[in-house]
């Protein structure tokens, strides 16, 4: 990391803390400047899809066989890490029993609806009938698939002028991203201030048990599932890992969006961890879409907690159904509007618990606090998977 990058990281951290504190004591300030945070997130998302389109295309066009191998290895690793995370957290929450005897704080019932999810619909949505509609709608998975197939075909037919053009476009987009990232301290300050201003202390204390379980599970997974394998298999020192991941994690904490953090994730992988583009260009965008270990923590906590709260036992058979549903929802998440709250309602419906309106009301009220930990873990998981795949690919 360069000296200027280190300085910006410290400035971003200071703005993050300042926003969190001022949001509690001067909440009215952030009502007037909240639009700045919205603009910052919009700019990051604006850059994410063009960069993904170019990086995946370039990675695939430079070697169809190696790119396909990298993608298949990535999917295998994503599924494995998700299953390990879910099992670890489900075991932890079963031992701690946070839902036993839990009483809901005073809150209104959630009046939303669960998503209509089916395996057929999920697979069908991957194959877009209109790539421009997918781009405008922010559909990441169809965009990745289209760019990957286009890159493979371009490499096969040796479309050198097209590959050169896309490479130049990626250079331009990367430079544009550099300018956008200069706004990170301001964006982080406003977003964190708005978060604490909207939630206040009451939302945290009203469901403190659930929030602590979410953050505790996320930290445990970060240490045991993300950092420990890197230390053992990729020889990445934990201190070095956190130092290089600082800006990406702060962006994830403040934006609560893996897609918005993806440009910073790619920059971190290429500049700080020196991962070649043929690996980072495939693994990180794909991981941002279907590899969400934060979702594994979320679904395991939600399932075990509400089972304990309602006095229902978690049998071995039910555990595997929970894992299967969580994996399916995890991959389908980018195509479901409404974010984690809708996914939570869908998960409970699949488990046969459709009458959890009061619980979901509390869940919706604190979800921003939960999503901060889940998104940060998702981003850490994408970086960990990319570094492990890079180590795997670099073996003779």
Tell me the domains of the chain and their CATH numbers. 3-394 (1.10.3860.10)
**Most confident region among 20-34, 51-65, 231-245, 336-350 by mean pLDDT:** 231-245
Q: With 0-12 CB in 10 A as exposed, 13-18 as middle and 19+ as buried, what is 390?
A: buried
Spatial contact of 233 and 97, defined as CB atoms under 8 Å apart: no
What pTM value is reported for the model? 0.83
CA-to-CA separations, 70 to 47, 62, 65, 144, in angstroms, rounded: 24, 13, 9, 14
Q: Which helix (H) or strand (E) holds 238?
A: helix 238-255
* Amino acid 314: pLDDT: 86
Average pLDDT, the chain: 84
- H helix intervals, 158-237: 160-181, 184-206, 208-221, 228-233
What average pLDDT does this structure show over 8-21? 86
- pLDDT for residue 270 is more than 80: yes
DSSP H helix total and E strand total for the chain: 17, 0
Distance CA 131, CA 282 (A): 19
Whose CA is closest to 206, among 50, 12, 320, 365?
A: 365
Question: Six-digit token pair at 371?
Answer: 């999503």
- H helix intervals, 64-183: 64-96, 119-126, 131-136, 140-157, 160-181
Q: Counting every residue, how long is the chain?
A: 396
Distance CA 376, CA 238 (A): 16
């Amino acid at each position: 990391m360069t000296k200027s990058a280190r300085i910006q990281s410290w400035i971003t951290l200071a703005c993050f803390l300042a926003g969190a504190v001022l949001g509690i004591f001067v909440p009215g300030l952030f009502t007037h400047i909240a639009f700045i945070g919205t603009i910052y997130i919009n700019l990051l998302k604006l850059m994410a899809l063009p960069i993904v389109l170019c990086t995946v295309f370039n990675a695939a066009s430079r070697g169809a066989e190696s790119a396909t191998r990298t993608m298949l290895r990535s999917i295998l690793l994503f599924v494995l890490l998700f299953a390990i995370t879910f099992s670890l957290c489900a075991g932890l929450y079963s031992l701690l029993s946070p839902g036993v005897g839990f009483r809901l704080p005073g809150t209104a019932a959630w009046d939303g609806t669960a998503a209509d999810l089916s395996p057929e619909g999920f697979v069908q949505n991957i194959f877009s009938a209109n790539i421009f509609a997918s781009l405008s709608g922010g559909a990441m998975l169809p965009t990745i698939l289209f760019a990957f197939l286009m890159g493979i075909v371009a490499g096969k037919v040796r479309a050198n002028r097209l590959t050169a053009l896309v490479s130049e476009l990626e250079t331009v987009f990367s430079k544009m991203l550099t300018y956008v990232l200069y706004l990170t301290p301001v964006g982080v300050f406003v977003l964190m201030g708005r978060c604490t201003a909207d939630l206040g202390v009451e939302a945290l204390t009203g469901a403190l048990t659930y929030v602590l379980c979410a953050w505790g599970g996320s930290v445990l997974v970060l240490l045991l599932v993300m950092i420990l394998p890197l230390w053992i298999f990729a020889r990445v020192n934990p201190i070095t890992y956190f130092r290089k991941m600082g800006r990406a994690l702060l962006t994830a904490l403040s934006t609560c969006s893996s897609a918005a953090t993806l440009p910073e994730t790619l920059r971190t992988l290429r500049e700080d961890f020196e991962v070649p583009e043929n690996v980072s260009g495939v693994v990180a965008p794909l991981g941002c879409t279907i590899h969400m270990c934060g979702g594994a923590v979320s679904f395991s906590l939600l399932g075990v907690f509400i089972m304990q709260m309602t006095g229902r036992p978690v049998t071995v058979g039910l555990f595997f159904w929970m894992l299967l549903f969580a994996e399916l929802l995890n991959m389908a998440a980018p195509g479901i509007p409404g974010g984690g709250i809708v996914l939570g309602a869908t998960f409970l419906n699949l488990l046969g618990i459709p009458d959890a309106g009061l619980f979901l009301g509390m869940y919706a009220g604190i979800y921003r606090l939960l999503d901060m930990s889940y998104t940060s873990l998702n981003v850490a998981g994408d970086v960990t998977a990319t570094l492990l795949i890079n180590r795997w690919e670099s073996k003779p």
